Amino acid sequence: MKNRIFAGFTLIELMLVVIIIGALVAMVMPRFTGRGEQARRAAAEADVRANIPTALKLYELDNGSFPSTEEGLNALLVKPSSAPNWSGPYLEKKPLDPWGREYKYKSPGDHNADYDLWSSGKDGVESADDVKNWE
């Protein structure tokens, strides 16, 4: 009779591994929930407070004024008729917030003398989750 060597795991060993993995996932997952929304908000804040304002300031340096509300942020991509010294494009692509909507722009602004720039946030309506360049 030959000795047989069985290689493999028993059902109990497999169940124990699955339970351990499940426990680890249960401990780690709560730490990651909500991080996606935090990252989206941080990206919108960077756009509203640094990225788009830099492009707007370059536009203003070249043309003497910020784009009008009617021209909007599109004036940073395509030369408007009111910009004689336009040397853009000032942005690489159309600025969309992390939720896929266009940033709102108004010049002159209601809150700032030059312009107001904001995102309506996750819900898409004016509310407490808005990311704006004032306050």
Q: Which domains does the chain have, with CATH numbers?
A: 40-132 (3.30.700.10)
pLDDT at 34: 66
pTM, full prediction? 0.73
What would the pLDDT profile of 12-44 be if each residue is shown by its tens digit? 888 888 888 888 888 777 777 667 888 888 999
Q: Give the model's pLDDT for residue 76.
A: 94
- Transcribe 41-71 into DSSP letters: HHHHHHIIIIIHHHHHHHHHHHHSSPPPTTT
Q: Per-residue pLDDT for 85 more than 80?
A: yes
pLDDT tens-digit series, residues 45-62: 999 999 999 999 999 999
Looking at the chain, the whole-number percentage of residues with pLDDT higher than 90 is: 56
